[in-house]
Amino acid sequence: MDLIFVIILGGLWGSFANVCIHRLPMDKGVVFGRSFCPKCKKLITWKDNIPVISFLFLNGRCRNCKKKISPQYLIIELITIIYFLAVYYLFGITITALLFLILGLSFIIIFFIDLNHYIIPNVLTFSLMIIGFIKSFDPNLNPIFPNFINSLIGGIFGYLIIWSIIYFYKQIRKKEGMGLGDAKLLSAIGFWFGWISIPFVIFLSSIIALLSVIPSLLKNSKSMSSQIPFGPYIIIGTLVYLFFENSFKSLLF
């Protein structure tokens, strides 16, 4: 029964993530207002809004206008369900699990908004900063979370390192490089996992970003000055760091 509950919960929050990804870039509210088809603008009934099931039942098309629905909706719901199951498997029903669910859901929303629109909404990064710092005052949480001193240093360090990159890049190239949204996201990660996570996350995200754009550079479809959303790479770098956290820390201690 617990697994069924977690799957349903993941699907519902995945559906909410889709709402946030669609509305936040347009500065629209995510709590009120019913979902509608972006093509024909018809309201979506509850039976056509069941996570995963409705998409499959409708064969990925709107019931009213028969236009194709982006598979991104299904992908996000499936990713969220899988993530919820993984967190439940690792941490059970605990405060640590709740914190990771909040963080993961925020990561999913940020990932796809930045990927599609090259922005990271402040409402998400500021919320993560606050939650990340507040939780650091609880000494009984999982040791993966730092104490409040390391959390505070991590938040400041994370912001300043990206801010410095932006500043010096602008001085040298006379144009903007990265955005402050990336700085706020890395600051939030610093608040959540302490200063020690920042160098590893920066290194990993940079390597992953470079590897992902090399094929485009070789094909000349992108240049070194092309704009790329760095937020998704920061998120992937953070996940890699968390997965191999003990191995990375052993390099320093």
Averaged pLDDT of the chain: 88
DSSP state, 67? P
**SS3 of 105, please?**
helix
Which range is least confidently modeled, 29-33, 164-168, 232-236? 29-33
State the pTM of this model: 0.91
For 178-195, the pLDDT digits (tens) are 778 999 999 999 999 999
- CA angle centred on 121, ends 117 and 126, rounded to 5°: 155
More confident residue, 66 or 158: 158
> Residue 247 belongs to what H/E stretch?
helix 245-250
Residue 151 in tokens: 């959390």
pLDDT digits (tens, 9 = 90+) for 212-230: 887 776 666 555 556 788 9
SS3 at position 249? helix
Please give the share of the chain, as a percent, with pLDDT higher than 90: 57
- DSSP of 132-187: HHHHTT-TTS-TTS--HHHHHHHHHHHHHHHHHHHHHHHHHHSS--S-HHHHHHHH
pLDDT at 241 over 60: yes
pLDDT of residue 30: 78
Residue 16 pLDDT > 80: yes
| Percent over 70 (pLDDT), the chain | 91
pLDDT of residue 180: 87
Domain boundaries, the chain: 1-93, 121-253
pLDDT in the model for residue 217: 64
What's the pLDDT at 220?
64
Give the integer Cα–Cα distance in Å for 108 and 86.
Answer: 15
> With bands split at pLDDT 50, 70 and 90, how would you rate the model's confidence at 48?
confident
What pLDDT, on a 0 to 100 scale, did the predictor assign at position 174? 67
More confidently predicted of 135 and 252: 135
Q: 22-31, 68-77, 169-178, 187-196: which has the minimum mean pLDDT?
A: 169-178
Mean pLDDT value of segment 193-209: 93
| Higher-confidence position of 2 and 156 | 156
What band does 12 get if pLDDT is binned at 50, 70 and 90? very high
